[in-house]
């Protein structure tokens, strides 16, 4: 880790934040006119709010990441860039005129598969499995991850509270040599872009990310975490997004068990139930942010310790921390 690299990383964060903020600010009047999210029974907001600021976040992320990649002489996979743009366009179309579920899934699956199956053959998480089987499982996990990031983007600053700690931890992993530089450039730029978006999304939000933001953010973050796992750090790759994974996955299985239309909009995520149980939005976001800092610290511990004993303990500690927050969210607050 050298001082010039740290300075360059901080500069990339600052530039991405500035671009994201400027594009969000200038595009808001158009989004107000053409992409207005009106509240309904399943919404967490109470007034019509423009959505689609993900255009700013994704644009800032790709521009800064690709520029930094050129400067450091590394290559971001073209399939990832193309898939991100395509999935953003699908999300933007869905923000304006809702698309059929099957159409969205097919297009998302194509984007995720293009990224996964163009990766080098020596990029493995479970070498004991046949390559085709492992890649197929990763595609399924990737489709779920893209969608769960979208599902969890249902509260002011929620995605900021998730993405900033996770991407900052990924940047740190890159600085200590535990993550590929293409992934570091994506994570760094995404961290900055989310910081630039944050002032517009703080309660009460002036603008939402929309599917044009949450879906490609899920793809980009999922790829960075996959790169971390390919780099020999699967425990860290699981710990960093553990809250999102737990909240979204448990909610999905509960809805399936209740024979509900699990693909339709709802308000049964733990963070949504928290607001129904008396938690204020800032308190929910504060708890999620604090939890993500704990998970990031545990992930860093698994990477730096290099101990086969520490990793299982860190995973258990992460599960306990996530379980504590989920249980807390699911109980009514004392009046």
Domain ranges in the chain? 3-233
| pLDDT averaged over every residue in the chain | 92
- In the chain the first and final C-alpha atoms are separated, in Å, by 50
CA distance 169 to 186: 13
pLDDT tens per residue, range 304-331: 887 778 999 999 999 999 999 999 999 9
Average pLDDT of the residues in 32-56: 77
CA distance 238 to 291: 14
Given a contact cutoff of 8 angstroms between Cβ atoms, the answer to whether 263 and 102 are in contact is no
Angle, in degrees to the nearest 10, between helices 158-175 and 131-152:
140
- pLDDT value of residue 261: 75
- Of 37-46, 116-125, 177-186, least confident by mean pLDDT is 37-46
Average pLDDT of the residues in 125-146: 95
- Look at residue 335 and tell me whether its pLDDT is greater than 70: no
Q: Length of the chain, please?
A: 335
Nearest to 328 by CA among 296, 266, 297, 286: 286
pTM of the full structure: 0.95
- pLDDT above 90 covers a percentage of the chain that reads 78
Distance of CA 253 to the CA centre of its chain: 21
Average pLDDT of the residues in 54-72: 95
CA distance 24 to 27: 5
Residues 6+ apart with CB under 8 A from 60: 16, 17, 19, 20, 23, 189, 192, 193, 196
- pLDDT value of residue 42: 62
Residues 6+ apart with CB under 8 A from 317: 298
Counting beta carbons within 10 angstroms of the beta carbon of residue 330, is it exposed (0 to 12), middle (13 to 18) or buried (19 or more)?
exposed
Given a contact cutoff of 8 angstroms between Cβ atoms, the answer to whether 178 and 224 are in contact is no
Residue 160's CB: how many other CB atoms inside 10 A? 22
Higher pLDDT, 173 or 4: 173
pLDDT bracket for residue 271 (50, 70, 90):
very high
Given a contact cutoff of 8 angstroms between Cβ atoms, the answer to whether 155 and 205 are in contact is no
- Look at residue 246 and tell me whether its pLDDT is greater than 90: yes
Given a contact cutoff of 8 angstroms between Cβ atoms, the answer to whether 209 and 72 are in contact is no
Q: Where are the alpha helices (DSSP H) in 97-130?
A: 101-117
- pLDDT value of residue 36: 73
CA distances from 158 to 83, 152, 252, 307 (A): 24, 7, 19, 33
Higher pLDDT, 263 or 207: 207
DSSP 37-73: E---TT-S-SS-EEB-THHHHHHHHHHHHHHHHHHTT
pLDDT bracket for residue 86 (50, 70, 90):
very high
Average pLDDT of the residues in 244-251: 96
Average pLDDT of the residues in 118-131: 93
Average pLDDT of the residues in 21-47: 79
CA distance 112 to 130: 19
CA distance 294 to 273: 22
Higher pLDDT, 65 or 49: 65
């Amino acid at each position: 880790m050298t001082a010039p690299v740290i300075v360059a990383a901080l500069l990339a964060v600052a530039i991405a934040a500035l671009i994201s903020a400027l594009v969000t600010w200038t595009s808001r009047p158009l989004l107000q006119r053409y992409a207005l999210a009106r509240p309904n029974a399943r919404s967490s907001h109470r007034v019509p709010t423009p959505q689609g600021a993900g255009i700013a976040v994704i644009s800032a992320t790709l521009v800064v990441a690709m520029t930094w990649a050129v400067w450091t002489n590394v290559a971001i996979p073209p399939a990832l860039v193309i898939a991100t743009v395509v999935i953003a366009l699908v999300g933007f179309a869905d923000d304006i005129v809702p698309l059929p579920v099957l159409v969205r899934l097919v297009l998302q699956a194509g984007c995720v598969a293009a990224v996964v199956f163009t990766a080098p053959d020596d990029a493995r998480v479970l070498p004991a499995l046949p390559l085709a089987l492992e890649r197929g499982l990763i595609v399924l996990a990737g489709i779920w991850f893209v969608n769960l990031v979208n599902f969890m983007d249902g509260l002011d600053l929620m995605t900021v509270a998730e993405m900033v700690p996770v991407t900052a931890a990924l940047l740190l992993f890159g600085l200590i040599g535990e993550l590929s530089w293409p992934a570091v450039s994506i994570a760094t730029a995404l961290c900055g872009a989310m910081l630039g978006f944050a002032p517009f999304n703080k309660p009460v939000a002036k603008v939402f990310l929309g599917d044009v933001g949450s879906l490609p953010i899920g793809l980009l973050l999922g790829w960075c975490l996959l790169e971390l796992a390919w780099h020999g750090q699967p425990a860290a790759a699981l710990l960093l997004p553990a809250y999102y994974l737990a909240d979204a996955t448990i909610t999905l299985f509960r809805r399936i068990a209740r024979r509900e239309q699990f693909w339709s909009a709802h308000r049964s995520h733990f963070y949504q139930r928290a607001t129904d149980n008396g938690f204020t939005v800032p308190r929910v976001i504060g708890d999620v942010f604090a939890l993500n800092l704990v998970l990031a610290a545990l992930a860093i511990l698994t990477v730096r310790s290099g101990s086969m004993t520490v990793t299982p303990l860190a995973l258990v500690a992460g599960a306990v921390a996530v379980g504590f927050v989920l249980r807390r969210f699911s109980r009514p607050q004392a009046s």
